[in-house]
Amino acid sequence: MTLSRTLALWSLFACIAGLSACATAPSAPGCDDNDTHPEQLLGQWRVTLSGQSDPWTLLLRPHPEHEGSLQGTLMQNPQHFAVVADIEGAEFTMEESHDGRRIAATWLGHVQAGSCGQIIAGERQASAPGQGPQRFEMRSNRLR
Q: DSSP of 41-89, one letter per residue?
A: G-EEEEEEETT-SS-EEEEEEE-SSSTT-EEEEEEETTEEEEEEEEEEB
Each domain of the chain, given as residue ranges in start order, spans: 3-140
Asked if residue 23 has pLDDT above 80, the reply is no
Most confident of the following: 28-32, 77-81, 126-130: 77-81
pTM over 0.95: no
3-140 classified as CATH 1.20.1250.20: no
